[in-house]
Amino acid sequence: MKLLEGKWALVTGSSRGIGLQVARGLAARKCNLVVHGRKPENTVRTVELLKHYGIQVHSVSGDLSSSEGVQAVIDGVRSGPGHVDILYNNAGVMSAWKPIWEVPPEEWLDILQVNLLAMIALCNAFGPEMKRRGYGRIINVSSGIKDTPNLAPYGISKAAVDKYTRDLAVELKDSNVLVNYLDPGWLKTDLGGKDAMYPVEDVLPGALVPALLEDNGPSGQLFLAQDYRMLA
């Protein structure tokens, strides 16, 4: 089994849902973890769950709906390991179900701030130094959502994540900083809802694939976590 010993990963939104599973999966590969939630108390359970993996765990908090919150996450990393080798941009929010005509401008902005602009700010904070070190894996969590105008702010934020990731991959070409985007599948979480197709645990092992890529592997690509179900 490929291990990530000595590496540090920041998994945003690892207090619950998909991010918690990703954190557990990385911990099982001996990766040290920076876990994150909006408030310090939200990651207590994750830290507890990670205890028996024998890795180092550092907890950060910050609400990604504001630039102050994003900065708090960056500062939290600086006061812990100082850097990350793997940036798992997982935190995200769903938009309210409503006719596309009726979404007010501030609602578009709120969704884009958490799902896209916070991700970009974290890539800006940690990407250039990954490039200098000659190693990095960035995974931006997207979605397979389509043809759902009543969730347009969410869908458009994820389409922008895809495009941003492809552009960033070109910027990072030949640097061994591999940036890819992941569709986790429709999973039973607070965001996915109880009618979702798969239990949240089914995001593993597929969600780990873009974090485990060999040096100079694929970048700017879409990974579908559910393509790897047979490996579970």
Tell me which residues are annotated as active site.
154
Q: How far apart are CA 15 and CA 22, in angstroms?
A: 11
Identified binder of ligand NAP from the candidate list 191, 221, 222, 229, rule CB under 6 A: 191
In the chain, beta strands by DSSP E: 8-11, 32-37, 57-61, 86-89, 136-141, 177-183, 187-188, 198-199, 222-224
- Tokens matching residue 45: 């359970």
Q: Which stretch binds ligand NAP (CB under 6 A): 37-45, 51-59, 74-82, 213-221?
A: 37-45
Identified binder of ligand NAP from the candidate list 28, 30, 63, 135, rule CB under 6 A: 63
Q: By CB under 6 A, tell whether 93 contacts ligand NAP.
A: yes
Q: By CB under 6 A, tell whether 210 contacts ligand NAP.
A: no
Binding pattern for the stretch 4-23 against ligand NAP, x by CB under 6 A and - elsewhere: ---------x-xxxxx----
CA atoms within 13 A on the CB side of 52: 2
Q: How far apart are CA 39 and CA 37, in angstroms?
A: 5
Q: By CB under 6 A, tell whether 72 contacts ligand NAP.
A: no
Q: By CB under 6 A, tell whether 91 contacts ligand NAP.
A: yes
CB of 228 to ligand NAP, least distance (A): 16
CB of 149 to ligand NAP, least distance (A): 17
Strands 136-141 and 177-183: parallel
Q: How far apart are CA 38 and CA 67, in angstroms?
A: 13
Q: By CB under 6 A, tell whether 65 contacts ligand NAP.
A: yes
Q: By CB under 6 A, tell whether 45 contacts ligand NAP.
A: no
| Count of helices and strands (H, E) across the chain | 6, 9
Q: Answer whether 43's CB lies under 8 Å from 59's CB.
A: yes
Nearer to ligand NAP by Cβ, of 187 and 213: the residue is 187
Give the interface size with ligand NAP as a residue count (CB under 6 A): 28
CB of 49 to ligand NAP, least distance (A): 13
To 10 degrees, the CA torsion angle through 171, 124, 64, 31? 90
Whole-angstrom CA distances from 108 to 6, 31, 112, 153 are 40, 36, 6, 5
Q: By CB under 6 A, tell whether 114 contacts ligand NAP.
A: yes
Residues at the interface with ligand NAP (CB under 6 A): 13, 15-19, 37-39, 42, 63-65, 90-93, 114, 141, 143, 184, 186-187, 189-192, 196
